[in-house]
Chain A
């Protein structure tokens, strides 16, 4: 793993982020005027013009972008139009709730998907395999807004087992984490199954089995380690997706995280908040990609990456 390779990757990552910032910056501005939304429905034209000037929305777009980029490089992401406080404060306050939800969903995904995938692969075409895969397809095809509402109706309203919404305790975390992870469990279970099937057919597994090694050793040490590479990739990237994909789950469960903040900010045309969240999630995504690449080369030195 050469330093120049790493430097090159870092430069790519930086370029990616700048391009994203440009796209977001112009996209949010194409969707309408934040001033109208910030002011009451009965604001006077004078009020509107005044606020527009105060926020600098009358300057050319290029100038506004330059101003944004220069301050962002200094770590200043501006002031939220809606909350009237530094965007960084607004965003970092909401980040822990989302990280907590995404991490719980990821752990749940791994805890369910890996065993399910492995067992399915080992008992290929058995009843167990068919049942597991049916459940997986179901999980992948249930949209989270439907699954979330159904879980609330059944678990909270009907059975009174868990709270219907809210944030704070482990009990509050269960339903949102299940809702959020359903899709990913399905994805990763299928990936594990196909990866394992591929590996189980290979010569060295037959050799290992022929040597009379115990099944667990064959499966975990020999097969899973080799089937693991694509799983690491997906898990790494999906964690980014999880962080950015909590929008619907957070809205359903009144979870005070980043996803809900993003939706509100988009509807309210709170440009600085939208920009910062998109940049933050992009940065996480890009970093995860980078980490996955590094891990790849570390696990399997044969892999050449451009």
Chain B
């Protein structure tokens, strides 16, 4: 019975992976596009970074076994033509033939084994290792077939082989080149299979990419792409207005009107996989916040629709939970939150805290420096609304390092703002683990039933069974109210009118299909 279900599953998976057509004959790549981003990369080795600037480059120069399907947001074939689950702990990938790395080295089973082993090797210190410890080993079946064997069932495995540049993802590296040249050389002179290759890295300044003419899906249309670091947001905006940049990332909402006045520039944004910064309530310290009625009352005081319309000026969406509805396992039955100040006051009274009596001043930690779109304003709004219930809030803005340390401290704060998303994490269980599982260093929620649901889902291979467990976990998270009502912020870019490009998912800047008018 079990094996029959597995067979069925394998067939379904194969059906999803329809091989793509032959590469389209295209004209010689030409022209140049400058992309202005907030920061410069610290390394160009996609397996050794946990930061967006590195990922921006990696997403255009490296590839993974599977790709993200931009319509269904599931998986589509990448460097692997297909994959199937042989048994609960063995995943077999059939590799694409004829793919070459930028230096001419052939992509094959050796490259897969090398790339996975490198991430798993503790000596390598890859930040992606932690999310892959369940992988036991890679077995080469033949030059174009590999078996990836896990220690326990690992339904998240395909996710780890999808979209380069996201913590935990395993990009494919050329074994001979890395072995011969060494890690340090590779970090500055990376070689992948992607549509672009790195030709020049002026550290602290820019990274120049050139079209890979032999790319297996056909050469890209643009010849040269420059990723330019412009840390100051107002300078970034000036760069797009003067045409010194063709695309800029992380556009501050208050500059959008200025940008729109220039007919040569347009705003391009996406809500897919936008960052969902949420405010979490510390339920683990006892006191009034351990009472679910108090938490529900606090949630009822917040009008997230108003936050999105006024503070974000419409550049976001209200959500029941800080999860993307297009991610695997999202519970579509969750209703959007409706604020109700009267009910909030009543609930607080029932809990023995009429007008907030007996509730100590709540300490609220949130990050500064525009880490989350209008994050500081959202925090102020929350404090103001709680005031209407008689609950006092002490705002404690923290610079990145201080904030990160505070979020891992389960004992000192009552409220905290943090976001999990925007990086291609397309499995709600994966996201909820970091948000709410008691084993997550950032979770301020400790609920055995919730932990159990996620733990079971982590070992269930059947997608439908996993979805059911995720749905229950989401309903429980609404009911227990460890988070305030949520929203998701759009990723906002500005683009010159003569450039054809649109953001697909969150912060990802994928330039393979970009062209000039």
Could you tell me which A residues sit within 8 Å of B by CB distance? 31-33, 36-47, 50-51, 54, 82-85, 90, 93-94, 97, 149, 152-153, 156-157, 160, 163-167, 251-254, 256-257, 260-261, 264, 267-269
Contact = CB atoms under 8 A, between A and B. Distances in A.
12 contacts: A36-B404, A37-B400, A42-B420, A50-B125, A83-B42, A90-B203, A153-B238, A167-B205, A254-B228, A254-B229, A260-B231, A264-B39
A256 B203 contact: yes
Nearest to A160: B242
A85 B184 CA distance: 8
A152 B238 contact: yes
A252 B232 contact: yes
Given A37-B401, A267-B401, A93 B125 contact: no
B233 to A, nearest CB: 10
Interface in B222-244: 228-232, 234-235, 238-239, 241-242, 244
A40 B238 CA distance: 31
Interface in B409-445: 420, 434, 441-442
Nearest to A81: B42
B48 interface: yes
A164 B127 contact: no
Given A32-B401, A36-B404, A165-B230, A256 B204 contact: yes
B373 to A, nearest CB: 17
Contacts of A83: 42-43
Interface in B67-124: 122
Contacts of B239: 164-165
Q: Which of A164, A256, A264 has the most CB of B within 10 A?
A: A164
Contacts of A39: 50, 127
B43 A152 contact: no
A61 to B, nearest CB: 18
A42 B122 contact: no
A267 B242 contact: no
A157 B50 contact: no
A90 B203 CA distance: 9
Contacts of B203: 90, 93-94, 256
B129 A254 contact: no
B30 interface: no
Contact of A164 (B125, B238, B400): B238
Contacts of B232: 149, 251-254
Contacts of B48: 84
Interface string B426-470: 000000001000000110000000000000000000000000000
Contact of B244 (A51, A90, A163): A163
A163 B420 CA distance: 37
Interface residues of B, number: 44
Contacts of A41: 50, 167, 404, 420, 434, 442
Contacts of A156: 238, 242
B187 interface: yes
Contacts of B231: 251, 254, 260
B402 interface: yes
Contact of B235 (A43, A167, A252, A268): A252
A38 B51 CA distance: 9
B167 A42 contact: yes
Contacts of B360: none
Given A165-B244, A166-B228, 8 more contacts: A31-B402, A42-B168, A54-B125, A149-B232, A149-B234, A149-B235, A157-B242, A167-B205
A43 B130 contact: yes
B131 interface: yes
Given A165-B235, A166-B244, A47 B43 contact: no
Q: Which of B202, B401, B405, B434 has the most CB of A within 10 A?
A: B401
B242 A36 contact: no
Contacts of B408: 36
Contacts of B241: 157
B506 to A, nearest CB: 15
Nearest to A48: B441
A47 B133 CA distance: 11
B399 interface: yes
Contact of B129 (A47, A160, A269): A47
Report the 4 A-B pairs with minimum CB-CB distance, sorted nearest first.
A40-B50, A256-B204, A40-B167, A256-B205
B441 A45 contact: yes
B243 to A, nearest CB: 9
Contact of A165 (B204, B238, B400): B238
B129 to A, nearest CB: 7
A213 B204 CA distance: 55
Contacts of A261: 204
Contact of B204 (A37, A46, A94, A269): A94
A260 B204 contact: yes
A283 to B, nearest CB: 22
Contact of A256 (B127, B202, B434): B202
A256 B202 CA distance: 9
Given A254-B229, A260-B204, A36 B43 contact: no
B240 to A, nearest CB: 10
Interface in B355-398: none
Nearest to A90: B203
B297 to A, nearest CB: 30
B493 to A, nearest CB: 18
Nearest to A270: B42
A44 B242 CA distance: 44
A278 to B, nearest CB: 18
Contacts of B129: 47
Nearest to B232: A252
A165 B130 CA distance: 39
A93 B238 contact: no
Contacts of B404: 32, 36-37, 41
B180 to A, nearest CB: 19
A195 B230 CA distance: 42
A83 B53 CA distance: 13
A82 B122 CA distance: 18
Contacts of A46: 130
A254 B235 CA distance: 8
Q: Which of B128, B204, B230 has the most CB of A within 10 A?
A: B204
Given A251-B232, A254-B228, A50 B122 contact: yes
B202 A164 contact: no
B50 to A, nearest CB: 3
B423 to A, nearest CB: 9
A193 B129 CA distance: 64
A82 B43 CA distance: 9
Q: Which of B129, B235, B241 has the most CB of A within 10 A?
A: B235
Given A42-B130, A42-B131, A46-B130, A269 B401 contact: yes
A78 B125 CA distance: 18
A54 B234 CA distance: 39
A84 B128 CA distance: 16
B205 A254 contact: yes
A167 B434 CA distance: 41
